[in-house]
Structure 1
Amino acid sequence: MTTRASNTTTAARIIAVVADVMAFVIGLWILMYLLDANRANDLVEFVRETARWLAGWSHDLFTFDKEWARVVAGYGLAALVYLFVGHAAAGALRRR
């Protein structure tokens, strides 16, 4: 394997891992929300703030009557988009 191919493969792995971590944080917030985690806890607050920042473009996109449905749909959409785009970009890099 050439150095260029090795660098491309490494970059693709990094992109995929970053997308996975972003989706994991968002998914973790959805789970914490659904389980009514203590928002006074520092870890819960950190995950909430990070997920809110990552899903800033989609967290209030839907207007369901139930708040839990808005959280799951809005944040879940962001997680799916990060996974799809991140892994698509990584796959495109690997094919180069």
Structure 2
Amino acid sequence: MLAGILVIWIIMDLLDADRGNTVVGWFHSAADWLAAWSIGLFDVAGHTLQVLLDYGIPAVVYVVIANVIAGRAFGRP
């Protein structure tokens, strides 16, 4: 779910969604909070690549963490 919020925000940002919209604003705030530790970790020239790095890295990290937790919870070796 956390990664989903980040992916939705990446899509909204890249499609230039109206940040004045309540739903878009919620996704932006949630994504900023979830990705606070990684925003600006890498400084690149293009906006698209910057958004993918700033929000994509935490999305991948959250998916990996969720898989590890699920694997341990459900007994996968």
Q: 2:59 & 2:26 partners in 1: Cα distance?
A: 17
- Structure 1, unmatched stretches of 5+, are 1-20
Instruction: Specify the code of the residue in structure 1 equivalent to 2:28.
Output: R
TM-score, normalization by structure 1: 0.75
TM-score, normalization by structure 2: 0.92
Cα deviation 1:45-72 (Å, max 9, x = unaligned): 1000000000110121110101221111
Larger radius of gyration: 1
Structure that is richer in helix per residue: 1
User: Which structure exhibits the higher relative contact order, with contacts defined as CA atoms closer than 8 Å and separated by 6 or more residues?
Assistant: 1
Instruction: Specify the code of the residue in structure 1 equivalent to 2:12.
Output: M
Q: State the Cα distance separating 1:94 from its structure 2 match.
A: 1.3
- Structure 2, unmatched stretches of 5+, are none
Could you list the structure 1 runs, at least 4 aligned residues long, displaced by more than 3 angstroms after superposition. Answer: none
Alpha-carbon RMSD? 1.1
Q: State the Cα distance separating 1:44 from its structure 2 match.
A: 0.4
